[in-house]
A and B are shown apart, each in its own frame.
Chain A
Amino acid sequence: MQRIARNWRAFRDGLSQFYHGPYRQTLAREQRTEDDFFTLIVLGEALGVPDPAAYYSMELMPFLYRDFHAWHRRMGMPRSPLENVACC
């Protein structure tokens, strides 16, 4: 009886993955694109893109450091592009 229940649950989860999977991937990708764009704007000045709002984007930087490593990898830069931030 327990085995049937377990199998049923596995089957149900599989179906859920099958139907929701593509949507989940799209949503996750869209969210990541937004987040990456945000990081790019805030770090613009440090990356050599003149940012007229550098003084104000500075106060957003602390919120980005944690995800910085994953970000520069996603952006196709294997090493940290910021001289002072040696995350890898």
Chain B
Amino acid sequence: MLLTATRSSPLVFVGGKGGVGKTTVASALAYARAAAGQRVLLVSTDPAHNLGHLWERSFGDEALPAVEFDTGGVDALEISPEATVSRHLAAVSATMREILPERMHRQAAAHLELARNAPGSHEAAMLERVADLAQLPGADYDSVVFDTAPTGHTLRLLSLPTQLGHWVDTLIDNRERSERFANALQGLMPAEAPRRSPRSSQLMNTLHTRRERFARLAAALSDRERTAFVAVCVAEPVPVTETIQLADELAAARIRLAATVVNRRTPPALDGDRAAGEAAQVARLASALPTSGMCEIGRQPGPLSGLAFIAGVAQHLG
């Protein structure tokens, strides 16, 4: 069910409340796609990464192979916001050295260092990487599966491209007005008006590059063909309520909720009362979200990590 519901989407975001099994579902989905012959990149955007724990491997900011099949395979990476911020700072420093006189280098570098720890920097760095990785399907990978942070963080991350798009628009409008005044001034007094420096067009290029990147990501996220969101929960009242709210917020953000996954269902033979309570919650979820598919995964016996466990869960995705 989960595989068919998300089949057409090269970008899949797996989200939900903390501790419901997002990493397990994302990994099993990546595994199942790879077993069917795809090259899949599995990416953790949760700052408290646990892909490594689940696969019993150690992953990092660069993609490493997690499992290989005859034709397909899974590579995994855990985004490091610190590393991304460092790379960004290095790039900015390089631009700075190009355009500033040498005596100002030290001051400007000290000032940039402050931005390293500005609130929101890590979040923005995470977004930057997601934007880069979202471009990958079609090139090195057939699809990218994101194992995301708990609901609130993820919704905010997904709404950032639109918000930051407005921010860049404001700045570009401002620069265009400034340039219009400069041009008018030059027309009036050709000899006296100051010439616009090449820096000004470099600045404009930077802003336009940013605008395009935000716009491209926002478009990819709301493209129902390309992006699917999978909401994971367990069959308990609070997680189910949160999933229903998540569905509303995704609809508002125009992101397609392809399927919900109800994880860790109790078999009736094990605990009849509990299983009945869970069934009531599953029914509530199904009636609230009639259009998205639902996939139920039973409580798994044995160790809850390692390749055999992931492959076992992948069997239940259908």
Which residues of chain A have a CB within 8 Å of any CB of chain B? Answer: 16, 20, 23-24, 27-28, 30-31, 34-35, 37-38, 41-42, 45-46, 50-56, 58-63, 65-66, 82, 84-87
The smallest beta-carbon distance between B113 and chain A, in angstroms, is: 8
Interface residue? B224 (CB, 8 A): no
List the one stretch of B47-55, B171-179, B285-293 in contact with chain A: B171-179
Nearest-neighbor residue (CB-CB) of A43 within chain B: B111
Given A31-B181, A62-B98, A86-B107, output 17 extra A-B contacts at Cβ < 8 Å. Answer: A20-B188, A24-B185, A27-B184, A31-B178, A31-B185, A45-B118, A51-B118, A51-B120, A52-B164, A54-B121, A54-B124, A55-B125, A60-B171, A62-B96, A63-B203, A65-B108, A84-B111
Residue numbers in B under 8 Å from A85 (CB-CB): 107-108, 111
Interface residue? B71 (CB, 8 A): no
B181, A52: Cβ atoms under 8 Å?
Answer: no
Which of A37, A42, A86, A87 has the largest number of chain B CB atoms within 10 A?
A: A37
Cβ proximity bits B70-108 to A, threshold 8 Å, 1 near / 0 not:
000000000000000100110110011011100010011
B185, A58: Cβ atoms under 8 Å?
Answer: no
B121, A55: Cβ atoms under 8 Å?
Answer: yes
Residue numbers in A under 8 Å from B85 (CB-CB): 55
Which residues of chain B have a CB within 8 Å of any CB of chain A? Answer: 85, 88-89, 91-92, 95-96, 98-100, 104, 107-108, 110-112, 114-115, 118-121, 124-125, 128, 163-164, 167-168, 170-171, 174-175, 177-178, 181-182, 184-185, 188-189, 192, 199-200, 202-203, 206-207, 210
The smallest beta-carbon distance between B172 and chain A, in angstroms, is: 10
The one of B115, B119, B170, B188 in contact with A58, judged by C-beta atoms closer than 8 angstroms, is B115
The one of A20, A38, A42, A62 in contact with B100, judged by C-beta atoms closer than 8 angstroms, is A62
A55, B118: Cβ atoms under 8 Å?
Answer: yes
A50, B115: Cβ atoms under 8 Å?
Answer: no
CA distance A1 to B199 in the complex (A): 46
B100, A53: Cβ atoms under 8 Å?
Answer: no
A53, B203: Cβ atoms under 8 Å?
Answer: no
Known contacts A24-B185, A41-B171; A63/B99 CB under 8 A: yes
Known contacts A38-B171, A61-B96; A20/B178 CB under 8 A: no
Known contacts A31-B182, A35-B178; A55/B171 CB under 8 A: no
Residue numbers in B under 8 Å from A27 (CB-CB): 181, 184-185, 188
Residue numbers in A under 8 Å from B99 (CB-CB): 62-63
Residue numbers in B under 8 Å from A84 (CB-CB): 107, 110-111, 114
CA distance A56 to B182 in the complex (A): 26
CB<8 Å pairs between A and B, sample of 28: A20-B188, A24-B185, A24-B188, A24-B189, A24-B192, A27-B184, A27-B188, A28-B185, A41-B171, A41-B174, A50-B119, A54-B119, A54-B124, A55-B115, A55-B120, A55-B121, A55-B125, A56-B167, A56-B210, A58-B89, A61-B111, A61-B112, A62-B95, A62-B98, A63-B200, A63-B202, A66-B100, A86-B107
CA distance A56 to B108 in the complex (A): 16
Residue numbers in A under 8 Å from B182 (CB-CB): 31
The smallest beta-carbon distance between A21 and chain B, in angstroms, is: 9
CA distance A45 to B115 in the complex (A): 8
The one of A23, A38, A55, A60 in contact with B124, judged by C-beta atoms closer than 8 angstroms, is A55
Nearest-neighbor residue (CB-CB) of A25 within chain B: B185
Residue numbers in B under 8 Å from A46 (CB-CB): 111, 114-115
Nearest-neighbor residue (CB-CB) of A31 within chain B: B181
Residue numbers in A under 8 Å from B92 (CB-CB): 58-59, 61-62
Known contacts A27-B181, A60-B203, A62-B108; A20/B189 CB under 8 A: yes
